[in-house]
Chain A
Amino acid sequence: MTLAELKPGQQGIIKDVSSKSIPLKLLEMGCLPGNSVELVLVAPFSDPMYLNINGTHLAIRRDTANHILIDTNNE
């Protein structure tokens, strides 16, 4: 599943990020395969998404989150 499908409060592990559509800056902030990710909150109108990746709190837009593949714990 992709990061965009997470529900607030849900956690997962980043499986793959497509390097073409993900800016380097996001990788540098810790959005890398193997790191944990939690969807903290979503803004009104459900975009952008407020994440906790590997201890870093940041917000990205839903269309970026679509390009990040994750595994959830209960799968």
Chain B
Amino acid sequence: MSKQINVALIGNPNTGKTSVFNALTGLNQKVGNYPGITVDKKQGVCKLERGVKAHIIDLPGTYSLNASSLDESVVIELLLNKKDKDYPDVAVVITDVENLKRNLLIYTQIKDLEIPTILVINMSDRMVYKGISLDIEYLEQQLDTKIALVSTRKNNGIDELKQLISNYKTLSNKPCLHTQDIDKTYFEGLKKAFPNQSLYKLWLVITQDVNFGKIDRNLIEDTSNFKTKSESDLKRLQQKETIKRYQFINNVLKKGQTIDLKSAKDLRIKLDRILTHKIWGYLIFFGILLLMFQAVYDWATYPTDLIDAGFSSLADWVKNTLPEGAFTNLLAEGIIAGLGGIMVFIPPIAFLFLFIALLEESGYMSRVVFLMDNIMKRFGLSGKSVVPLISGNACAIPAVMAARNIESWKERLITILVTPFTTCSARLPVYVIIIALVIPDGSFLGISYQALTLMCLYIIGFLTAIFSAYILNKILKIKSKSYFVVEMPSYKIPLFKNVVLTVVEKTKTFVFEAGKIILAISIVLWFLASYGPGEQFNDAENIIQNTYPNLSLEAQNDLIAEHKLEHSYIGIIGKTIEPAIKPLGYDWKIGIGLVTSFAAREVFVGTLATIYSIGSANDIDDEDEAMSTIKNRMAEEVYSDGSKVFTLASGISLLLFYAFAMQCMSTLAIVKRETNSWKWPMLQLVFMSGFAYIVAMIAFQILK
């Protein structure tokens, strides 16, 4: 018999919900869709006894069912919609033994929804250390549920939890307190108007903007026989509701929980004094940042080089093994080259995610938020903007999503708008090749000019982000209550399994998502460059042979390839935009790179590689040679008058263009999703690219 039980994991942030999820599902988990296009929806399968399978959803952490963010509304929408295929047969509410009082709030709300609910008290290994003892029997009776005492760190209690899930049918689905007591007449009226609906559901729908089933908020308000309340009255009722819930919880815990403060030991305050100190706090934070960049841009080069070499030998192998023809060329020049271009991003991105996961798991990130809020506030940002601004150095997509927990809409919007200015890893290959081309050898104070240039580009990116935030804060007329609440969790040693799973999962989604785009573009690009309309393209051989009959065969072949490229579809596109990019110092080939870069920046180097390798009849046998060959070819590129295409002036202009321009479709899509409007991504596209154009033009005109 194979039967499936839908299980939803619900709980406050920082309760170890994800560790419980990992302990239940192990590696049998997947993240639904792309984070952000739908909110992260983690699902997994856990085998129970007698062939029963539990389908487990790890819902985003939320403090209550009164949603104040996108993540939280996912939880409510699922719990209100019985028709949803993921609607839970049983809810598992995860709480932290140290914060039981606060964590139980959402438990009482879930119970009100009349869903069978199991209570998990997690981190039970810390009970002795904190001097906490619990009367489980009493708690189970008062809270009307079954309790599993779990420690994911010690791997205790997971089997008991599985047992409880399999026996979910014996659980009570009655509420454990009477919410309607907060305003009896109001709720009675509600019940009369909608006799078939659960009262608490109706109440949730009234107090927030969600739809469920056939009833939505407007319908309730339009019903003539029911009078609803003003917004401020509703808010007062919500406050009353919260107080009532806490009274209930306090009463239960008064008898069910004893805390012996004398035997409690706390490192927290000692660590906090140092980590949020006005001097040490900042020094430690910047030390950690330095270490992080060292890892991302230095240590990561070793695995990156290995991957690079691996893909180049694969491309060689394909070229040598498969029969010659269009398909082999597409595979070797288009697909494998394109894939290699994505894979080299894995090490730096994995390192960055590793650091961020460690900082968040340990509880240190909250201290950084606390430490930086005052400074960030002056620029119209929040302390919580630190996380997006750091993550932006790997990739703007997760960074924009990390802005979700910023409470103030204005601060969140500004964070989202400026984050793409930070130097994401997709800019790196462009920077590296251009810097190698145009920045002279030599050093200043022992640091090479090239490394200095790279550092300057990072600083420019960060300063532009901060400075634009300052301007946006002055310009944007958004009325939004600026408030800020951040939980300061206790310090914990990060769980190895959690960290590894987070890094693997985040890196995987990045690679697959970016990979799809890059792969598609390299294929399209290869076609556009390999085919063209009209006689100029199709008759290239004859035209060249007739025009230059005296040249050697090899030189003729080079010219034919060049001529073909110029008259291919992509060549026509490049030539069309050439007048617009001439003042920036770019020729039509760079123009093609710019066009494809608007899909994703990292495509630039790949595009030039494709253009220059198609633009030459010579085969390249060795990828190392190929890379330096691309660089050499770029260095040799000349205009018809013999002057070089890549000079210091055009190089700097390109670097600045890439530093500022908004060239990433995925980021635009995420911003649209996160701000729920095309207005903001379009604003980013126009302003960032316009700014990039002007700055690059000024730089070129001054330097040339």
Contacts and interface: CB of A to CB of B under 8 A. Distances in A.
Interface of A: 19-21, 23-30, 32-33, 35, 40-41, 43-45, 47-48, 50, 54-61, 63-64
B485 A58 contact: yes
Contact of A48 (B64, B235, B484): B484
A35 B253 CA distance: 14
Contact of A30 (B101, B281, B486): B101
Contact of A50 (B238, B370, B374): B370
B105 interface: yes
Interface stretch (B271-279, B511-519, B616-624): B271-279
B407 interface: yes
In the A-B complex, the 4 residue pairs with the smallest Cβ-Cβ separation, listed nearest first, are: A44-B278, A57-B488, A28-B64, A45-B374
Interface stretch (B239-247, B606-614, B654-662, B690-698): B239-247
14 contacts: A20-B235, A25-B63, A25-B407, A28-B64, A30-B246, A33-B243, A41-B276, A43-B276, A43-B371, A47-B374, A58-B486, A59-B373, A64-B483, A64-B485
A64 B63 contact: no
Interface of B: 63-64, 66, 68, 98-99, 101-102, 105, 232, 235-236, 238-239, 242-243, 246, 268-269, 272-273, 276-278, 281-282, 366, 369-371, 373-374, 377, 383, 407, 481-490
Given A40-B269, A41-B272, A61 B487 contact: no
A33 B246 CA distance: 11
B245 to A, nearest CB: 9
A28 B488 contact: no
Contacts of A35: 246
Contacts of A61: 373, 377, 482-484
Contacts of B246: 30, 32, 35
The majority secondary structure among interface residues of chain B is helix
A58 B239 CA distance: 19
Contact of B373 (A23, A30, A33, A47): A47
B102 A59 contact: no
Contacts of B272: 40-41, 50
A60 B483 CA distance: 8
A56 B95 CA distance: 13
Contacts of A32: 242-243, 246
A58 B488 contact: yes
Contacts of B273: 41
Contact of A24 (B98, B101, B102, B242): B242
A19 to B, nearest CB: 5
Given A44-B374, A58-B487, A59-B486, A23 B63 contact: no
Given A21-B481, A27-B242, A58-B487, A43 B370 contact: yes
A48 B370 contact: yes
Nearest to B66: A24
A37 to B, nearest CB: 14
